Each structure stands twice: as C-alpha cells, then as structure tokens.
Amino acid sequence: MKRLMLGAAALVLACGGPKDQSTGGATSKQEKDAQAVAQAPANAGGGGTGVATNGGGSIEGTVKFTGTPPANATIDMSEEAACKSKYTSPPKDPVVVVNGGNLENVFVYVKSGLPAGKTYEPSKEPVVLDQEGCLYKPRILGVMVNQPIDIKNSDPVLHNIKAVPKKNGGFNISQPQKGMETTRTFAMEETPVPIQCNVHGWMHGEIFVLSHPFFAVTDNNGSFKIKGLPAGTYTVEAVHEKLGTKTGTATVAENGTATVSFTFGG
C-alpha cells in the first residue's frame, strides 16, 4: 500500500506600527519586544542602566536644593491644543524641579574608581525616550555605549528629535504621527548629548552616554541608587543641566551599601 504523506506550512505575517521618516534603525514594536525577550540577559538592568555586574555593592543617596529655586519659564502651547489639553494650568519648562527640597533630574554616576581595564557589555534592552505633552520624558536619560534608545512619539502632533553631540554622530528624526517609534545608539562616551525639537523650541533634554552601567537619575524625591558595584572607593559626580556639578566620594564594602549626598543652591 502506498503511503501518501501530506505536509502543511503556515506563513504568519505581522504588520508593525508606523515607521519614522528617517533612514535605518526603525523596527516595529512587535519585533523589538521579541528581540528584547530573546537577547536581554537575565540580570539586565532597566530604567536607563546597562547590564548589572557581579558586584553586590551599591551607592545610594539624595540630592538636595537649598534656598529659592530659580523660576522656570511658562511654556506657550496655544498652537498645540492636543498638548495644551493635558495640563490643568499653563505648563512650566521643567529645568529645575524641586520637591520638598529634593532635586529631580540630576544625573549621578561613578566618575572614577572602577577596576582598570574592565569592560562592560551593554544591555540589549532599549531605554525609552518618549515625547508626551510636548515634552521629553524623561528629560534626563542615561544609557551605555551601543545600548539601544527607543524614541517614541505619544502625541498626535509632529515632533522631531534632534541630537547635537560633539563626539558621536548626530541625528534628526521626524515623527509626524502618534505611535511612531525608532531606535538609535551612540558609539562612544559623551556627557551629555543635548537633544532638542525644531518644531517646539521649548523641548530640551540630555542623554548621558557611558561605557559602564554605574549611573542613575534622581527621581521626584531626589533619590538615586547605583547597583552592582564591586568593593572599592569611588568618585561620584552629580550633574544638573542648569545648576552645574557636584562631586563626592563613597567607599563600598563587599555586598555593602555606601551613602553619598549632594546639595545644590545657595
């Protein structure tokens, strides 16, 4: 008896969301989600950090502001009703954000003291930079060299994101529709890379690009924590886009937590 074997093949086609109008680096959200699951190591860090290391130590602290904070300018969004509607009162340019004496959006990183010659592999998981309410969110972003930055437009208005580095290659991405996404990387250290929007002159931000993952950005409580450090003594620097730089020292015991704090203002 002859046997007849029948095989069936199914081809599934997935259609991603809209792409930006620049060349290269744009992938669909489905593709990026799949890549993140497949490529991200088990100990990959999120929230603007690179891959965690084998060290069990950490540095944490709070950044304070004393005195009267400088006034932030009011933003005129009258020509962008879709963005203006998201605010109950005229929005302010969030350059200096102080909450109960605590300073938000300060980039804190290990400046020196890491083991000589050690290299750190960047996470494959993208760090997200959104455009929402006609502002960059987050305004201050940390990323490792060659770690992907997922740039999104959550507003139903035209945005462009223009990076103006001095060392890295720049880019200027047009995203005229809500939901557009693209991905970019930076090839070398640079602190910071300014970003801006030619459509909305008040939109500004900064991306700090480092070759190691030991950095953080203060939250609305002025708090930060840098994890995964080996034992040692480190120089730690806190950088604010308007108020300047402060430097401190922290000695981390093996699997221990060191505390260092910074104060800006008068």
Q: Is residue 13 part of a domain?
A: no
Distance of CA 130 to CAs 127, 139, 160, 196, 261, Å? 10, 9, 11, 13, 29
Q: What pTM, to 2 d.p., does this model score?
A: 0.81
pLDDT reading at 51 higher than 70: no
Q: Is residue 203 part of a domain?
A: yes
Count Cα neighbours of 260 within 13 Å in the Cβ-side half-sphere. Answer: 21
pLDDT of residue 266: 66
As a whole number, the mean pLDDT across the chain is: 85
pLDDT reading at 36 higher than 80: no
Binned at pLDDT 50, 70 and 90, residue 53 comes out as: low
Q: Is residue 3 part of a domain?
A: no
pLDDT reading at 42 higher than 50: no
pLDDT of residue 1: 43
Q: Identify residue 122 by its one-letter amino acid code.
A: P
* Distance (Å, whole) CA 37 – CA 238: 33
pLDDT of residue 33: 41
Domain range enclosing 67: 29-265
Binned at pLDDT 50, 70 and 90, residue 54 comes out as: low
pLDDT reading at 153 higher than 50: yes
CB 106 within 8 A of CB 217: yes
Torsion sign (Cα): 214, 153, 133, 73: positive
As for how many domains the chain has, the answer is 1
More confident: 43 or 116: 116
Average pLDDT over residues 44-48: 36
Phi, psi dihedrals of residue 78, rounded to the nearest 5°: -60, -25
Domain with residue 256: its CATH number is 2.60.40.420
Task: For residue 192, say if its preceding peptide bond is cis, omega within 30 degrees of 0.
Answer: yes
CB 176 within 8 A of CB 111: no
In three-state secondary structure terms, 150 is strand
* Distance (Å, whole) CA 56 – CA 48: 19
Q: Is residue 16 part of a domain?
A: no
pLDDT of residue 40: 35
Q: Is residue 231 part of a domain?
A: yes
CB 145 within 8 A of CB 119: no
Q: Is residue 252 part of a domain?
A: yes
Q: Is residue 150 part of a domain?
A: yes
Q: Is residue 7 part of a domain?
A: no
Distance of CA 166 to CAs 192, 194, 240, 242, Å? 9, 9, 19, 19
Joined tokens for residue 95: 């350059």
In three-state secondary structure terms, 33 is helix
Model pLDDT for residues 163-215, shown as the tens digit of each residue: 999 999 999 999 999 999 999 999 999 999 999 999 999 999 999 999 999 99
